[in-house]
Amino acid sequence: MSYVIFALIAYVIGSIPFGLIVGKLGYKIDIREHGSGNLGGTNTFRVLGVKAGLIVTIGDILKGTFASLLPWLMGLDINILIIGIFAVIGHMYPIFAKFKGGKAVATSGGVILAVEPVLFVIMLATFFLMLYLTKYVSLSSMVTGVVTVISAIILQNIGLIIVTSILTLFVIYRHRTNIKRIKDKTEPKIKWM
């Protein structure tokens, strides 16, 4: 029963649409009507700039971390990785934003931060290295997911392998239109790195 309760709580926390909140409160803009229409940090960076993009990205990361750690903070013996998956589902399909959310990247990172902070640092390093080499946020996100799974295999942590694999599948699935644009050479590249 505890798993069901905390999974629902994690889903609700994950559903907090920071992109929508920051856009409407700070800029009087519905981020869904601009750029890619996505609620995540990447679209926020493109449409609203660095400050808003950082706020949204950090918010999306921390909701994954907080939702995952909540059972632990309450002293319960619950697998926080499993709970974290529901925070990511909430981010992708938020109840507060008509079930149209982000692409699972930042919130997945937040889940990993809660469980394996060193692996989170490896994720960040991989992401920015790939971003420097390719200039594609989408490709960098997907490669980071794959490297995270490989790292979990090296750590020989079965639970981490399973959950990082699930989260990486989420990320790749949510980027399927980006994959097509990369193939067609129409995917936008960043210009600041």
pLDDT tens string for the chain (193 positions)?
A: 789 999 999 999 999 999 999 999 999 999 999 988 888 999 999 999 999 999 999 999 999 999 999 999 999 989 999 999 999 999 999 999 999 999 999 999 999 999 999 999 999 999 999 999 999 999 999 999 999 999 999 999 999 999 999 999 999 999 999 999 999 999 999 887 7
Please state the domain extents for the chain. Answer: 2-184
Whose CA is closest to 171, among 95, 60, 92? 92
Alpha helices in the chain (DSSP H): 2-14, 18-27, 41-48, 50-73, 80-92, 105-115, 117-134, 137-155, 158-174, 176-184
Q: What is the pTM of this model?
A: 0.94
- pLDDT of 98-110, one tens digit each? 999 999 999 999 9
Cα–Cα separations (whole angstroms), residue 159 to 70, 89, 146, 164, 177: 18, 18, 16, 8, 29
Structural contact between residues 81 and 68, judged by C-beta atoms closer than 8 angstroms:
yes
